[in-house]
Amino acid sequence: MSTFNGKRDKRGDWHDDAPLTYAPVFKWPFEPLSILKWLFGYPGYFLPWGLIYMAVPIIVWNYFTPALDTMKAFSFNWIAYIFIRNLIMIAAVAGAWHLRLYIIKYQGTDFKHTNKWLARDNPIFLFRNQLYDNIFWTVFSAVPIWTAYEVVTLWAYANHFIPYVSFSDHPIYFVLLMCFIPIIRELHFYTVHRVTHWGPLYNYVHYLHHNNVNVGPFSGLAMHPIEHLLYFSGILVHWIIPSHPIHALFHLQHAAITPAQSHSGFDRVVIVDGVEVKTGDFFHYLHHKYFECNYGADGPLPLDKMFGTFHDGTKQAQERMDERFLARAKQKAAAESEI
């Protein structure tokens, strides 16, 4: 039997009994044991999802990527191969989440953030269907732009245009950089996300992603092409710092496949009755629900807390956000009245 808990309000929105918190890295007073538990415990930074996502690019590099020497010159064959490989990867990952949670509906609405399912016959979506809309933007925008960044980066590695580091020469640096890539991504994502909430960019670009208030696994990459260009641009850090193609693949694949988890629409996935694995996406779901909060993630960098945009899911946090919104509205009205 499922250990389903939490509360569902009159609107059908679910929230956990405990408020959201950040990882204890910047907690004061300093608690080294808490940090070690977060790093190596379960659930934590590495377990269960961290190591899984780190293993994927290692496998892909060794078994599903052309030899680096063959990528010194652009060729239709190897570029097409990488595109198809990426398409299969996102279809497998997002498709698996969607199959279990939305087609089989293995756990019904247990731990689902809203009791509503994906929209159908809604004119804000292409084909009037949320799933078809999400798949369209994923296949015809996200995967091509992700592939383009990857192709150019691998070509640059092959031609020694960007700094390269091997595991055999620098094993400690190699492993540490691998561990820090999700943190680098978190910083980049927060920055780009705040930029896309700027008026014109939101109205013409980012709005498309926010059509998905009730998110599903394919909603994660349902973005405007301009946003995809910004979103995947974090890979450019590997054009500057010494790294291995595995690091670059990890950076891009982490950006590409983790949104299926963070937009699953469920706080936890039931493996078998009574055993659940936390997906950790309630933090980002609140952003889709309330828009002007939780721009980053609930990892080691408390960026939203630093900039006053953190929402922990409680009524008190919502009241504080409403007060900030009203204060900004009054300031805007006062400024406009002076013109």
Q: 8-17, 108-117, 156-165 — which is least confidently predicted?
A: 8-17
Parent domain of 152: 10-314
Q: Give the pLDDT score at 339.
A: 63
- Between helices 143-158 and 245-262, what is the axis angle to 10°? 170
Q: Which of 320, 324, 326 is nearest to 19 (CA)?
A: 320
- Residue 5 pLDDT: 67
Please write the tens of the pLDDT for every residue from 314-333.
Answer: 888 888 888 877 777 777 77
Residue 326 placed within a domain: no
289-317 pLDDT, tens digit each: 998 899 999 889 999 999 999 999 888 88
pLDDT(59) > 60: yes
DSSP code of residue 20: P
Domain count, the chain: 1
Give domain status of residue 179, yes or no.
yes
| Domain assignment of residue 34, yes or no | yes
Give the pTM: 0.94
Percent of the chain past pLDDT 90, that is, above it, reads 79
Whether residue 330 is contained in a domain is answered as no
Contact 55, 62 (CB under 8 A): no
The answer to whether residue 73 is domain-embedded is: yes
pLDDT score for 63: 98
Instruction: Please check whether residue 17 lies inside any domain of the structure.
Output: yes
* pLDDT single digits (tens) 249-283: 999 999 999 999 999 999 999 988 878 898 878 89
Mean of pLDDT values over 31-50: 94
Q: Which helix (H) or strand (E) holds 275?
A: strand 275-278
What pLDDT is attached to residue 160?
Answer: 97
**DSSP letter at 138?**
I
Q: Does any domain span residue 325?
A: no
The confidence score (pLDDT) of residue 180 equals 97
Residue 322 lies in a domain: no
Would you say 270 and 110 are in contact if contact means Cβ atoms under 8 Å apart? yes
pLDDT of residue 1: 40
The separation between CA 42 and the C-alpha centre of its own chain, rounded to angstroms, equals: 20
Q: What separation in angstroms does the CA of 126 have from each of 102, 153, 165, 211? A: 20, 32, 44, 11
- Can you give the pLDDT at residue 303? 96
Where residue 2 falls among pLDDT bands split at 50, 70, 90? Answer: low
pLDDT tens-place string over residues 236-253: 999 999 999 999 999 999
Pair 286, 292: CB distance under 8 Å: no
